[in-house]
Structure 1
Amino acid sequence: MSASPITEIDLHAYVDGQLETSRRAEVEAFLAAHPDVVAEVQAWRMQNQSLHDIYDNVLNEPVPLRLTGALRSRRWPRGIAAGVAWLSCGLAAGWLAHGWMQGPAQPRTFAQNALAAHVLYTAEQRHPVEVTAQQEAHLVAWLSKRLSAPIRAPKLQEQGFGLLGGRLLPGQDGPLAQLMYESDKGERLTLTVRHASQAQSETGFKVMEQGGNRAFYWIDSEYGYALSGSIDKRKLLEIAQAVYLQLHQSSN
């Protein structure tokens, strides 16, 4: 009998460590054959870790004495108590999800996806990009068409990096463009770009760090950008500023 198809439920359970050994092996075999899904799975892992980083301190705080006293002072019928508990958990989870998916959390989610894709594809030696820099005009035109907006490839030779090529990535609210750069030393950077249908609240540079890699990300009108790399933090910021100046000036 053939194994049942791998579903998104299986992938989420895999990320959460909830699969039995046999099913986990099937999922890992599926991921090995579908590298395009690995970036999404890695992004989920990073989202989970970020949620822990943000909320674990709150969740691990002791319950205030005034609340524990209130609970002890009233005996609830078992069914009602269970219902209240589940309702409280549901409201808390819903609010956390609301805060995670709405407003200022969106750029962070974008940056997480960009950083996960950076880690995945910069490790590739034979196929780091879909379209090489030798076809830069085609690459830029293709990515612009898929994002329904003009995409530009900044020139980073003064910063010691040349364009290697690029690829299309799946995004939470539409496709993303990834441009990869490489130095003479073999160091690689990626610039991930997203486009929104309307202008967003512009932001300054923000940084995200994970496992020796970091990304500077920002919002500039309808565009979101994330520059990712494992080089020195100050150097990466200088390059992010150079990217911003080139792209911002060319759009005006």
Structure 2
Amino acid sequence: MSTTPANDDARPKGRVNISDQDLEAYVADRLGAGRRLEVEGFLACNPDLAARVMTERHRRGRRQGGFQAGLLRPSWGRVAAAGVAACVMSAAVGWHAAAQPPVTAHWREADGDAAPRYVEDALESRLAARVRAVMVSQTDTPVLDAAEVERALKVRIPRLPEGWRVVDAQIYPSDDGPALNVIVTTALGGRLHLFVVKANASVSASPVLARNGRDAVAYWERGASAYVLLADSPGVDLLQEARTLARSG
């Protein structure tokens, strides 16, 4: 896998100390962009802890009440003792300066309507993909057998536009059943995540943009399939790329 950061300026400099309070604040979406990047870099180097964090964020987004105090602490002493400065430095791979916020229920379209819940699952799959990207034992799967995926997941995989290239394709769990996350590069060099899952809402066949702060996703549905497109590199015209993909069938 590549070890070249998407943005050299995004690398945490020197030793980064991550506390229980930082992890709890990350789950609760209370960190600023810079500190959030440092926490994400640390999690990318500690997959077991990252899995627990993702699980807690997933639960928190779907229940009333706050963070379950102490959930992460049993693992913290072990990972802290290992010394993670070098790991955090390298974990900036794929995590650009405008690091994405934790999954929340605050994704809104321009008219104020809430985004469908599978947007949250798409964001979680992107985080999991970023953790995989820095794990030597997790290899990329740059071959996508659309027919096989369609048979297994009962979804339709759109044909990628000319010049787009599959970097990795993995199946992830979601509230609506198994879903596909495909990492692609576009003809212009942009890096995107395409999340495909069975539709559970009535959404336009034309891509719609939703925002949470400065972050954005585009989503649309066709038949029984729902699609979410997320940028993994800065400067991408997400809505335009989503329209190109939707038109390709």
The TM-score normalised by the length of structure 1 is 0.51
Contact 1:201 1:221 in 2 (8 A): no
1:53-202 to structure 2, matched below 5 A, reads 108-122=116-130, 124-126=133-135, 132-133=141-142, 135-137=143-145, 140-157=146-163, 161-182=164-185, 187-196=190-199, 200-202=202-204
Q: Structure 1 residues 11, 180: CA separation in 2 closer, same or farther (over 3 Å shift)?
A: closer
Unaligned runs of at least 5 residues, structure 2: 1-51, 79-101
Q: Distance in 1 between matches of 2:159 and 2:127?
A: 20
Calculate the aligned-residue CA RMSD, in Å.
4.4
2:115 aligned with 1:46, yes or no? no
Structure 1 match to 2:225: 223
Aligned to 1:238: 240
Q: Which has the larger radius of gyration?
A: 1
Determine what percentage of the aligned residue pairs are the same residue. 17
Distance 1:13 1:201, change over 3 A: closer
1:34-90 deviation line (CA, Å, top 9, x unaligned): xxxxxxxxxxx5235x29x99xxxxxxxxxxxxxxxxxxxxxxxxxxxxxxxxxxxx
**What amino acid is aligned across from residue 141 of structure 2 in structure 1?**
T
Matched position secondary structure for 1:46? coil
Question: With CA pairs under 8 Å and 6+ residues apart, which has the higher RCO, 1 or 2?
Answer: 2
Distance 1:167 1:47 in 2: 23
Aligned to 1:250: none
TM-score (norm 2): 0.51
Residue 85 of structure 1: aligned partner: none
- For structure 1, the residue ranges without an aligned partner over 5 or more in a row are 1-5, 31-44, 55-103, 248-252
Higher helix share: 1
The alpha-carbon distance between structure 1 residues 184 and 155, as it changes in their structure 2 partners (threshold 3 A), is closer
User: What corresponds to 1:18 in structure 2?
Assistant: 68
Query: Residues 129 and 175 from structure 1, CA distance in 2 versus in 1: closer, same or farther, beyond 3 angstroms?
Result: farther
Is contact 1:190–1:227 with CA below 8 Å preserved after alignment?
Answer: yes
Conservation of the 8 A alpha-carbon contact between 2:219 and 2:228: yes
Alignment of 1:199-214 (within 5 A): 200-210=202-212, 213-214=215-216
Query: Following TM superposition, by how much is the alpha carbon of 1:177 offset from its aligned partner in structure 2, in angstroms?
Result: 1.0
CA distance in 1, matches of 2:103, 2:67: 14
